[in-house]
Amino acid sequence: MKKIELHLHLEGAAPPAFIRSLAKEKHIDIGKIFDEAGNYAFDDFWHFLKVYEAATSVLTRPEDYARLTRAVLEQSAESGVVYSECFLSPDFCGGRDLGAWREYLHAIRETADDAGRDTGVTLRGIVTCIRHFGPAKARETARCAAEAAGEFITGFGIAGDETAGKPADFAWSFDMAREAGLRLTAHAGEWGGPQSIRDCLRDLRVERLGHGVRAIEDLALVDELAEAGTVLEVCPGSNIALGLYPDWRAHPVRALYERGVTVTVSTDDPPFFHTTMQNEFDRLHAVFDGDDAVLDRINRNALDAAFCDADTKARIA
């Protein structure tokens, strides 16, 4: 199956060996972020965020992001992915300085074009602010996003610690991104419950939710999401690896789908969670009792909900 992925953090897709070698090359002390087998190691979501930021601290130059972009596209291609929307963070790419951000973006985009031709994976970027970095930094990030809006940068989003601050604090940034023509998504309903989702939809007016799975705790909300066609970027392997649900059987992806929500499936941060798009689809196959039509529907939902233009959609369909 030609897969469409809508929720992938570029830094979060960095193989641990790649981060280790850059740390060594640059003599950067990233602390104890790997286990004995060399994999990323963390105890819970908040620890994961610290490990993520430590790993990202070795990505100090546009060329590091160029190498990372190629590695990520090659990884995606192995899972049969033909289109990927990747979260790009000006916080990490040049510290939100507009001039530096342009250089990072140029490197990412050039590599995406070259590696896209080699791998057959089309990449698009969603500029993302980081909730626990606060609203002032998010405003600077929105400026980076707005000036980059176009064929490659298609969206704006928010990631990070959903329990920090409230969506209304970020409304200015989302308004700016919307006015620049960007499509909108927000991480919500992962570490926050139904109210967090309601607040996000009301204050940020997003059309997609990163995760959104905790809507299942309020069936009236599930019905509202289904009715409105709000798209969920569900990342079951991520939710399980981070301990939100104990296993695939306990995960609400099937319940959400069966109640009519527009479900899509992605990996989030694949090497952190020991997953790939192929693995997510294999597991999904079992969850839906081998019903291939459901997997096709979920992938079709992702194509429909992708933020790219119609010509790109026609090409990847």
Angle between helix axes 277-287 and 292-305 (nearest 10 degrees) is 130
Residues with Cβ within 8 Å of residue 99, at least 6 apart in sequence: none
Asked if residue 154 lies in contact with residue 308, where contact means CB atoms within 8 angstroms, the answer is yes
Q: Extract the tokens encoding 11.
A: 């830094």
> Nearer Cβ to ligand ADE, position 4 or 13?
13
Q: Extract the tokens encoding 87.
A: 């979260």
What is the pattern of x (binds ligand ADE, CB under 6 A) and - over residues 138-177?
A: ---------------------xx-----------------
Matching residue, tokens 């204050």 = 203
Q: Extract the tokens encoding 272.
A: 């952190």
Is residue 190 among the annotated active site residues?
yes
140's contact among ligand ADE, Zn ion, none, with CB below 5 to 8 A by partner kind, is: none
Chain-centre distance of CA 90, in angstroms? 14
Report d(CA 111, CA 116) in Å as an integer: 8
Q: How far is the CB of 158 from ligand ADE (least distance, A)?
A: 9
**Binding residues vs Zn ion (CB under 5 A):** 210, 268
Applying CB under 6 A, does 190 fall inside the site for ligand ADE?
yes
268, amino acid identity = D
Applying CB under 6 A, does 187 fall inside the site for ligand ADE?
yes
190's contact among ligand ADE, Zn ion, none, with CB below 5 to 8 A by partner kind, is: ligand ADE
194's contact among ligand ADE, Zn ion, none, with CB below 5 to 8 A by partner kind, is: none
Write out the residues near ligand ADE by the rule CB under 6 A.
Answer: 9, 12, 52, 159-160, 187, 190, 238, 268-269
Residue numbers annotated as active site: 190
